[in-house]
A = this chain, B = another copy of it.
Amino acid sequence: MLGRLNHIAIAVSDLGAATALYRDTLGAEVSEPQPLPEHGVTVVFVVLPNTKVELLEPLGEKSPIAAFLERSPAGGIHHICYEVSDILAARDRLKAEGKRVLGDGEPKIGAHGKPVLFLHPKDFNGTLVEIEEA
């Protein structure tokens, strides 16, 4: 069921500084900042040869990462995203095993234009897991 690691998302309070760190200090390829108002974040993609790191800065008043940054002002890994080939089949299998899917359990269109779901960190080793149909 589990496919590629699509990305690691790192919440940051200063996207400019985090982008400079990855671009200038770590020498990675980075994208321009992309505001995603419908997701409450501005994102910069760090392009690695085999996957992506996504640097997320809160955007707007109801950002889903605002509370995380209040607890961890220095930032930190917010979630990891695995690809699945059939998100509804994946959801039903997880639910059948007693794992909690966040929200109403219906996939939403994520930041890459594909259906996504988030899984409860308490059921996944303290890790917020996103699954994305790819």
Contact of A27 among B1, B8, B11, B75 (CB under 8 A): B1
A27 CA to B93 CA in the complex, in Å? 10
With A3-B49, A49-B3 already in contact, the answer to whether A125 and B27 are too (CB < 8 A) is: no
Using Cβ atoms and an 8 Å threshold, which residues of chain B touch A24? Answer: 97
Q: How many residues of A contact B (CB 8 A)?
A: 41
In the complex the two chains form, is B127's CB within 8 Å of A48's CB? no
In the complex the two chains form, is A125's CB within 8 Å of B48's CB? no
Using Cβ atoms and an 8 Å threshold, which residues of chain B touch A127? Answer: 10, 75-77
A72 CA to B3 CA in the complex, in Å? 27
Contact of A121 among B21, B55, B74, B82 (CB under 8 A): B74
